[in-house]
Chain A
């Protein structure tokens, strides 16, 4: 079973503060993704990466940065957190389309910005 871990699992931040969410995968997948999940909006893609050193903007990148320093690690950075960024954040890893193109999700981080 593919393994994706996230830290922290819960985070309370203040408005204007910097928040870093971390993700680690041991699947040796090239692609990694950051999503947020809000009621009524489903899962929305924030940033993604095709490998170490690469980051791409997803559908809702404003207010977020991403960093992929290695194959295993992918971080999501909120430089100036706002209450609208209160959400559950999921990291996922996956590989190229083939016969099996599943994305494997981490357990999620619940972020509250006060």
Chain B
């Protein structure tokens, strides 16, 4: 069974700062790597994802993936108060299944 760990558990950053969130996974056969964001009391919503080693940027958000290290990360540039949420990483494997981490709770202080 896939093991997924996220760090840190919680984070407070000032508005405008760079935020970095980390995710390690155990299954080297994982094929798909996603980040979901969940605002308080709401459903999780996909933020961005990557299939191949390297980096992918969409607006203020960047994913880094290093399959050999079993690690991927999310970086948020110019963090905004609206970015305050629970961030869930989710590697996916055969069978179109995702295994979610326990999340990083981010608070952006205006």
Contact = CB atoms under 8 A, between A and B. Distances in A.
Interface residues of A, number: 28
Given A45-B97, A101-B96, A108 B88 contact: no
Interface residues of B, number: 23
A101 B92 contact: yes
Nearest to B89: A42
Nearest to B86: A42
A62 interface: no
Given A101-B32, A105-B43, A106-B43, A42 B96 contact: no
A104 B31 CA distance: 19
Contact of A90 (B43, B46, B92, B95): B43
B107 to A, nearest CB: 17
Given A59-B1, A101-B96, A43 B88 contact: yes
- Chief secondary structure at chain B's binding surface: loop
A48 B93 CA distance: 14
Nearest to A31: B96
A53 to B, nearest CB: 17
Given A59-B1, A101-B49, A107 B99 contact: no
A44 interface: yes
Nearest to A59: B1
Given A97-B31, A97-B32, A97-B92, A103 B46 contact: yes
Interface string A72-114: 0000000000000000001000111100111111111000000
Nearest to A41: B102
Nearest to B1: A59
Please give me the 10 A-B residue pairs with the lowest Cβ-Cβ distance, nearest first.
Answer: A42-B102, A105-B43, A43-B100, A102-B46, A42-B100, A105-B44, A31-B96, A107-B43, A97-B32, A42-B103
24 contacts: A42-B4, A42-B88, A42-B100, A42-B102, A42-B103, A43-B88, A45-B98, A48-B95, A50-B96, A59-B99, A97-B31, A97-B51, A97-B92, A101-B32, A101-B49, A101-B92, A101-B96, A102-B34, A102-B46, A103-B98, A105-B44, A106-B43, A107-B43, A108-B43
